[in-house]
Structure 1
Amino acid sequence: MRLGVIDIGSNTVHLLVVDAHRGAQPLPATSHKIELRLSEHVTDSGDIAESGEAALIEFIQECLTVAEDQGVEEVMAFATSAIREAPNGEDVLARVRARTGVALQVLSGEDEARLTFLAARRWFGWSSGTLLVVDIGGGSLELAAGMDEDPDAAVSLPLGAGRLTRDLLPGDPPTAEVVRDARRAIRLRLAAAVRPLAKAGAADRAVGTSKTMRSLARVTGAAPSSDGPYAARSLERSALASVVAELSGMTAHQRERLSGVSASRSRQLLAGALVAEAAMDLLGLERLEICPWALREGVILSRLDAMR
């Protein structure tokens, strides 16, 4: 079965086409994406602006054309925090459906955490024991832990790299005082939220997912994406501390020159590093293994599991 999944995140809108069968690994066939940054197309009241909605509708129509050309049998589409938190989110969903025929599913933060956990569990397998997953998105941070395919604890926090860059890290580069204040604010928000994860028990394997995590791992010396998804990659807390110090003094343009850092994500990387640093510290993690699968793959796997 050839499936198309349209992922509408805070930073990107991404169509992933896969050949998928129940009980088998989904195999990517093609990918089509745009750096829409929907979370930046907002009015003072928090509504999705007309410019963002128009760009979203246009790209979804483009994705449908690509999907048809690729022989996709079913298209699924989901949205995360950018639309979930917008006061006019329901109106945007209705207009998207009217213009494109696509019914967007809006995932809750807990849904995001659970589906990402499912993807990581399938990737690493049962031998991983108690699994802890840390996912840094553009709008939110998801944490999940447990022994099974459904986590015992799943938490979502408004600590995405894009959101924090806008709210807490003005300046290019930000001043040392701004960085200190941002680090303190992130730790305060995160400290209480990690407590529910304790009921899942100590993690046998701690995992990081998302583009931000992959970029941080690459900056600290992990294998490049050209080595493929099966290359072992990790992010070490000891290396992350020096990276935070380095990124704090760099402009976005200077960060672009680092291996594995794209121009579109360079400004957000410092915020992502501060969140990763706080999460690893508060959770007592020395190392995160990088998982190439995340939310999109979790959505696909969940759909396949529901097939008869």
Structure 2
Amino acid sequence: MRLGVIDIGSNTVHLLVVDAHHGAAPIPATKHKMVLRLAEHVDAEGAIDESGAADLARFVHECLGIAEDQGVEEILAFATSAIREAPNGDAVLERVRSETGVDLQVLQGTDEARLTFLAARRWVGWSAGRLLVIDIGGGSLELTLGDDEEPDVAKSLLLGAGRVTQDHLPGDPPSAEDIRAARRTVRASLAREIRPYAKAATPDSVVGTSKTVRSLARIAGAAPSGEGPYVLRTLHVDDVRETIARVAAMTAAQRAGLAGVSAARARQILAGGIIAEASMDLLGVQELSICPWAMREGVLLRYLDLMG
């Protein structure tokens, strides 16, 4: 059956169309995305502004047309941190519903973490043993750990690359003082939540998901996406440190010239590096593998499980 997933993130809005069947890996048919950066379309109280809400409704409507052209039978639509944290999130959801007929489901942070873990577990398989997943989004950081398809520990922290950039890294490039302050804030926030992971058994495998982690790996020399999803790609914590030092003094325009860094995410790659380094360091991770599946695939897999 052909399914469509509309994913409303803090940076981008994605439509993923796949051919999916219970017991089989979803096969991508087409993708469509819009760089919306909802996290930047907020007022002083954190509410999503008129422009952001209008663009969101317009893009969802656009997605419906593409899905129809692609023969999609069912659309799964969900929103994450940007809508979840906005005080007028319900009003934005109602606007999208009234203008498009699409009922966006808001995933809570722990649900986001668990679905990403499910996708990563299915990708790496049971031979990976006890699995730790680090997922750096635009608005939040998800950390999950477990032996099964359901994690034993799942946390969602307000430490996304876009959020840290917006809140702590002004300037293009930001000052050395702001970078140090951002690093302190990220590490202190993460250290407050680290105890359940420290108490648990050491993971047998560690994977990273999300565009931010993939970009950091690409800067460090990992294979480009054009070589396909089955190529082994890794990221060492020392590579992350080198990338932080390299991009800290660059403008966003200069960062966009790096391999794997789009203009839309160029400002956020420094914050992404700071978050990745802190997560790996405080969790005792020297190296992780890149997992191409994340939350969108988790949503699809959970749906297929329920339908099966």
Coarse TM-score class (shorter-chain normalised): over 0.9
Structure 2: distance between partners of 1:97 and 1:198: 43
Choose 193-202 or 170-179, whichever is displaced more: 193-202
Choose 88-97 or 274-283, whichever is displaced more: 88-97
Residue of structure 1 in register with 2:210 after alignment: 210
Residue of structure 1 in register with 2:127 after alignment: 127
1:172 deviates by: 0.9
Residue of structure 2 in register with 1:181 after alignment: 181
Gaps of 5+ in 2: none
Residue identity over aligned pairs, in percent, reads 67
Q: What do the CA deviations read for 1:77-129 (whole angstroms, capped 9, x no partner)?
A: 00001000111111111121111111111000101110000000000000000
Structure 1 contact 234–288 (Cα < 8 Å) conserved: yes
Q: What do the CA deviations read for 1:52-96 (whole angstroms, capped 9, x no partner)?
A: 111001000000000000000000100001000111111111121
Structure 1 contact 117–149 (Cα < 8 Å) conserved: yes
SS of residue matched to 1:76? strand
Q: Residues 31-42 of structure 1: matches in 2 within 5 Å?
A: 31-42=31-42
1:199 deviates by: 4.5
1:142 deviates by: 0.3
RMSD of the TM alignment (CA)? 0.8
Structure 1: distance between partners of 2:238 and 2:301: 34
Residue of structure 2 in register with 1:162 after alignment: 162
Structure 1 contact 7–13 (Cα < 8 Å) conserved: yes
Q: What do the CA deviations read for 1:246-269 (whole angstroms, capped 9, x no partner)?
A: 111111111111111100001000
Is 2:57 the counterpart of 1:57?
yes
Residue of structure 2 in register with 1:233 after alignment: 233
Structure 1 contact 153–199 (Cα < 8 Å) conserved: no
1:196 deviates by: 1.6
Count of aligned pairs = 308
Residue of structure 1 in register with 2:139 after alignment: 139
Q: Which amino acid aligns with 2:77?
A: A
1:288 deviates by: 1.0
Structure 1 contact 152–199 (Cα < 8 Å) conserved: no
1:201 deviates by: 1.6
Q: Which amino acid aligns with 2:99?
A: R
Q: Which amino acid aligns with 1:98?
A: S
Structure 1: distance between partners of 2:41 and 2:177: 28
1:198 deviates by: 3.3
Structure 1 contact 130–205 (Cα < 8 Å) conserved: yes
SS of residue matched to 1:144? strand
Residue of structure 2 in register with 1:296 after alignment: 296
Residue of structure 2 in register with 1:18 after alignment: 18
SS of residue matched to 1:300? helix
SS of residue matched to 2:139? coil
Residue of structure 2 in register with 1:190 after alignment: 190
Choose 84-93 or 277-286, whichever is displaced more: 84-93
Structure 1 contact 130–200 (Cα < 8 Å) conserved: no
Residue of structure 2 in register with 1:29 after alignment: 29
Is 2:72 the counterpart of 1:78?
no
Residue of structure 2 in register with 1:47 after alignment: 47
After TM superposition, the runs of 4+ consecutive aligned structure 1 residues lying more than 4 A away are: none
Structure 1: distance between partners of 2:34 and 2:89: 20
1:177 deviates by: 1.3
Structure 2: distance between partners of 1:290 and 1:33: 22
Q: Which amino acid aligns with 2:86?
A: A
Q: Which amino acid aligns with 1:78?
A: F
SS of residue matched to 1:259? coil
SS of residue matched to 1:68? helix
Is 2:101 the counterpart of 1:101?
yes
Q: Which amino acid aligns with 1:294?
A: A
SS of residue matched to 2:203? coil
Structure 1 contact 135–141 (Cα < 8 Å) conserved: yes
Query: Structure 2-normalised TM-score?
Result: 0.99
Residue of structure 2 in register with 1:112 after alignment: 112
Choose 194-203 or 52-61, whichever is displaced more: 194-203
Q: Which amino acid aligns with 1:163?
A: R
1:272 deviates by: 0.2
